[in-house]
Chain A
Amino acid sequence: MITFKDIQIKFGDFHAIKNLNLNIKEGEFFTFLGPSGCGKTTILRSLVGFIQPTDGQIFLKDKDITNVSIEKREIGMVFQSYALFPTLDVYENIAFGLKVKKTPKADIDRMVKEIAGKVDLNDEQLAKKVSELSGGQQQRVAIARALVLKPSILALDEPLSNLDAKLRVQLRNELKDLQKKFGITTIYVTHDQEEALTLSDRIAVFNKGVIEQVGTPREIYNESKTEFVCNFIGDINLIAPAIIENSDLKNYVDPHKKSYIRNEKVNLSPVAQREDTVRLKGKIIDQEFYGLYTKYTVEVIGGGLLKTLETESGSAQPAVGDEIDVYINATDILQY
């Protein structure tokens, strides 16, 4: 559906995107994930047409759109600030693109009402000024405004940032529902790994202008291809070299590489013990209670710190100061 071929983008001396190649499939919810300044917004804006690549081509349904002007690309976009027009009311905001296309008035009315219904905006809200809407309603207006033009692609640039945590979760779900309802190819830019994991069909992780890894959320999480990806996604332990040297782990891993293990893969009880399970001795020095689970910080004897997550099981829980055993499966260790 969308193909980026050998894309380079430079701003003066700054190399924002370095030789990017990427395919996005039809109907996919695809996320560009990365820290700020990594080039994810830049590549999205080049797709929408605000930025002209310095080199390379962008294809949409096999058509080269690299030099097609913004207004002819038919890609709907939702901005970080929503960019709703403050002088127009909600209805006029949604109808804006249709009016530009000189759609007959009756059709505009029908289409606006239809899309408004789908994103749960009632007639009363349509007559309001955009400044009178809540953040969630504003987002729905922004999405409706983009979708009413029936674009083949919907591009969202960090639409949930700057919102409070609860609203963010709620809107995330709404967004997912809407995408399913419309079945539209969606490209989503975010720096929030949780958002990326929950929403996406596939994720591209960006760092310093290059893609580190493309894959499903599971692949990205469990089989992080680079140290950057594994560090950026989820909570992870960097296993101190001393721990490896002073344990059986040295038989399984390359001591010259850095070793990582995800918090939840560090266990305090020998669940599903396998051939490669290594036992370490340690002492609990801190705990954080999260309700669903508790996070323990363990000081491994003769080594460093390891963090672990334990779900509440109802049985007696270890406490700070307890000396305990820690179990790790060597195959769960990621090495870079």
Chain B
Amino acid sequence: MFAMKNKGRLPLRPTAMIMYGLIAWFVIAFLIYPNLNIYYEIFFSGGKFSFEAIEKLLRSERAMKSLSNSFLLACSLVVTVNIVGIFLVLVVEYFKVKGAKLLRLGYFTTLIYSGVVLVSGYKLIYGETGFMTKVMSAIFPSFDATWFHGYWAVLFVMTFACTSNHVLFLSNAIRKVDYQTVEAARNMGASTFYILWRVVIPVLKPTIYALTILVFLTGLAATSAPLILGGTEFQTITPMILTFSKSVTSRNLAALLALILGIATLILLSIMIRFERKGNFMSVSKVKSDLVKQQIHSKLGNIIVHAIAYFLFLIYVIPVILIVLFSFTDAQSIYSGTLSLSSFSLDNYIRVFSSLSAFKPYLVSICYGAAASVTVVAIALMASRILHKYRNIWSTMLEYALLIPWILPSTLIAIGLIVTFGVPRWIVGNSVLVGSVWMLFLAYVIVHIPFTLRMVKASFFSIDSNLEDAARNLGAKPFYTFRRVLLPIILPSTLAVLALNFNGMLADYDVTVFLYHPLFEPLGIVVKNSTDPQALGDAKALTLVYTVILMIMSGLTLYFVYGRRSKN
């Protein structure tokens, strides 16, 4: 009846005290301290603040153009990704579409590869020597082979690349729609699409809001797609931030640009939080019935939906197929975009696995990924629990502190850690963390906290608070309640987040390169080194080989923590 709870007077248990202490230490030592420190070092080094960086940026036409392009891209993506993402989820989960299981596998492909390789995959189809371009040129002899670049190309690729979270989290949400409400609406004479628009989508709104923030962030931080496909006319700001953050002289520009993006993110975040508060659609029915897939009654509508669904399926699947096929060929075949049986061989794979030492990076990356993703989830769980339990100034501060990494690009976070922990600091026991194995672990944890918190918190808050009360009423202590009652409920979505984080860490380069321990070289570094265009080997083919290996690893991870469950 009252949302407010008055549990504050119950004595704090020692375990809880330790937990709060640990969280506070972590937040102060690794989220607030290094990130504030980097800004301090950048803007106040030498004891005086300078406006030089601002002037420089305002003077630069290119920087301003790139910045506005980034915002244009982020806003466009919010629209296109939501449209495509919602459509995908409806096809797989809501409408009766033939072959939905197969379609789903296709739509899931963005979960197993990303970044440069994904964009390169699309380039294999639409680039100058790509399949589509060849077809078009054959039909229209005057067709411009270099058509695939600029805003539309970037938007096209990124729209399809960024639906991963929709496919994962929106599917979960739509399964929770109470089917009785759909039946009720139909009973009142509503059409299929009216029901969809007025009954189903509103229930999905909280999830859509959360996903919108993620899409916006991804759009702002877009790197590979604009770099590769943007051409001179559509460059975005993140590549510039990356370049600047690596150079000591230009770091202030990087930090300033990052700050602008960060503030934009914060504004969007607070708008979304207000939206969320306005419309909290909780299911009120006691006895829910499971969603039954909807037949589209209009024949034409049905055909159109099927056609679009399979068309999208092709868009998703063809790059993956081509990457796998071309990974067996050589650089020349890849560049000319030709597949011939004679160029197929296992040589590339043999080269990658030629020595035993080739396996060590996999182990290192798996260890780091596993350790960091488990830690991130653990922190997010603890924090969500605190946020769920208390609503006061401290919990608000905790929430915002945990979102700090969202307002900084990951490279600056890495540099902040280096600058801060390159000398002994009392907060970490007077040790120098730079050069130790902990740096990379910490960075992975820090970078992935906001996303994880956002997702874990959402599922935490969707739990009926009576469940916790009921468990305590039955005699269970808080931790037991957490373990036996709350955790099992949020485990599926938590594991999905864990898997996503793990996959993201497996092949990360941008953060890793600053922080990895030289004796424990992670996969991302090995991949980058051996696939650098300057390298002598067949770099292009090796890139594809590593991509295929990473796809398999990511696919397996997802299957183990996610695929098995969604089958029941």
Mask, A118-157, CB within 8 Å of B = 1, is 0000000000000100110010000001100100000000
CB-CB contacts below 8 Å: B46-79 with A: none
Contact in complex: A81, B5 (CB < 8 Å): no
B475 near A: Cβ within 8 Å? yes
Mask, B268-288, CB within 8 Å of A = 1, is 000000000000000011111
A135 contacts across to B, CB distance below 8 A = 286-287
A79-B466, A96-B474 known; A134+B287 contact, CB < 8 A:
yes
With both beta carbons as reference points, the residue of chain B lying nearest to A162 in the complex is identified as B286
Shortest CB-to-CB span from B45 to chain A, Å, is 46
**When A and B form their complex, what is the total count of cross-chain residue pairs whose Cβ atoms lie within 8 Å?**
96
Contact in complex: B6, A96 (CB < 8 Å): no
Mask, A5-18, CB within 8 Å of B = 1, is 00001011000100
B286 contacts across to A, CB distance below 8 A = 81-82, 135, 138, 162-163
Contact in complex: A100, B469 (CB < 8 Å): no
A77 near B: Cβ within 8 Å? yes
Contact partner, A100, options B4, B284, B480, B489, Cβ 8 Å: B480
B360 near A: Cβ within 8 Å? no
Contact in complex: B288, A75 (CB < 8 Å): no
Contact in complex: A149, B474 (CB < 8 Å): yes
Shortest CB-to-CB span from B408 to chain A, Å, is 37
Contact in complex: A96, B484 (CB < 8 Å): yes
B470 near A: Cβ within 8 Å? yes
Contact in complex: A11, B474 (CB < 8 Å): no
B285 contacts across to A, CB distance below 8 A = 162
CB-CB contacts below 8 Å: B462-488 with A: 464, 466-467, 469-477, 480, 484-485, 488
Contact in complex: B10, A83 (CB < 8 Å): no
Interface residues of chain B: helix, strand, loop or mixed (majority): loop
Complex Cα distance, B162 from A325, in Å, reads: 79
CB-CB contacts below 8 Å: A1-59 with B: 9, 11-12, 16, 36-37, 41-42, 48-52
Contact in complex: A79, B469 (CB < 8 Å): yes
B467 contacts across to A, CB distance below 8 A = 83, 85
B1 near A: Cβ within 8 Å? yes
A83-B467, A85-B471 known; A42+B288 contact, CB < 8 A:
no
With both beta carbons as reference points, the residue of chain B lying nearest to A44 in the complex is identified as B1
Complex Cα distance, B473 from A75, in Å, reads: 7
A287 near B: Cβ within 8 Å? no
A11-B2, A87-B489, A163-B286 known; A76+B480 contact, CB < 8 A:
no
Complex Cα distance, B287 from A328, in Å, reads: 48
Contact in complex: A52, B469 (CB < 8 Å): no
CB-CB contacts below 8 Å: A75-98 with B: 75-77, 79-88, 96-97
Contact in complex: B5, A100 (CB < 8 Å): no
Contact in complex: A70, B466 (CB < 8 Å): no
A275 contacts across to B, CB distance below 8 A = none
B299 near A: Cβ within 8 Å? no
Contact partner, B6, options A51, A70, A146, A149, Cβ 8 Å: A51
A37-B1, A52-B6, A69-B10 known; A97+B485 contact, CB < 8 A:
no
B7 near A: Cβ within 8 Å? yes
Contact partner, A71, options B6, B7, B476, Cβ 8 Å: B476
A101 near B: Cβ within 8 Å? yes
B9 near A: Cβ within 8 Å? yes
B284 contacts across to A, CB distance below 8 A = 162
Complex Cα distance, B470 from A88, in Å, reads: 14
A9 contacts across to B, CB distance below 8 A = 6
Contact in complex: B473, A77 (CB < 8 Å): yes
Complex Cα distance, B5 from A12, in Å, reads: 11
B5 contacts across to A, CB distance below 8 A = 50-51
Contact partner, A83, options B7, B466, B488, Cβ 8 Å: B466
B473 contacts across to A, CB distance below 8 A = 48-49, 70-71, 75-77, 146
A70-B473, A77-B470 known; A41+B287 contact, CB < 8 A:
no
Shortest CB-to-CB span from A94 to chain B, Å, is 10
Mask, B284-297, CB within 8 Å of A = 1, is 11111000000000
Contact in complex: A52, B4 (CB < 8 Å): no
With both beta carbons as reference points, the residue of chain A lying nearest to B478 in the complex is identified as A71
Contact in complex: A97, B474 (CB < 8 Å): yes
Contact in complex: B466, A100 (CB < 8 Å): no
Contact in complex: B472, A70 (CB < 8 Å): yes
Contact in complex: A83, B470 (CB < 8 Å): yes
A86 contacts across to B, CB distance below 8 A = 489
Shortest CB-to-CB span from A325 to chain B, Å, is 47
With both beta carbons as reference points, the residue of chain B lying nearest to A78 in the complex is identified as B470
Contact partner, A52, options B2, B7, B480, B485, Cβ 8 Å: B7
Shortest CB-to-CB span from B392 to chain A, Å, is 12
Complex Cα distance, B3 from A50, in Å, reads: 12
Shortest CB-to-CB span from A287 to chain B, Å, is 32
Shortest CB-to-CB span from A34 to chain B, Å, is 11
> Most chain-B Cβ atoms within 10 A of its Cβ — which of A42, A79, A100, A131?
A100
A81 contacts across to B, CB distance below 8 A = 286, 464, 466
Complex Cα distance, B484 from A87, in Å, reads: 9
A72 contacts across to B, CB distance below 8 A = 475
With both beta carbons as reference points, the residue of chain A lying nearest to B480 in the complex is identified as A100
With both beta carbons as reference points, the residue of chain A lying nearest to B474 in the complex is identified as A97
B471 contacts across to A, CB distance below 8 A = 85, 96
Contact in complex: A96, B9 (CB < 8 Å): no
Complex Cα distance, B285 from A302, in Å, reads: 49
A87-B488, A131-B288 known; A80+B466 contact, CB < 8 A:
yes
Q: Could you list 6 further interchain pairs (A-B, Cβ under 8 angstroms) beyond the known A52-B6, A52-B10? A: A16-B2, A42-B2, A48-B473, A85-B484, A97-B476, A100-B475
Q: Can you list 30 pairs linking A and B with CB atoms under 8 Å apart?
A: A11-B4, A42-B1, A48-B473, A51-B5, A52-B10, A70-B469, A70-B472, A70-B473, A71-B473, A81-B286, A81-B464, A83-B467, A83-B470, A84-B470, A85-B467, A85-B470, A85-B484, A85-B485, A87-B489, A96-B476, A96-B484, A97-B475, A100-B474, A100-B476, A101-B475, A131-B288, A134-B287, A138-B287, A146-B474, A149-B475
10 A-B pairs closest in CB distance? A97-B474, A87-B488, A83-B466, A83-B470, A71-B475, A100-B475, A70-B472, A79-B466, A77-B473, A41-B1
Binding site for A on B (CB under 8 A): 1-2, 4-7, 9-10, 284-288, 464, 466-467, 469-477, 480, 484-485, 488-489
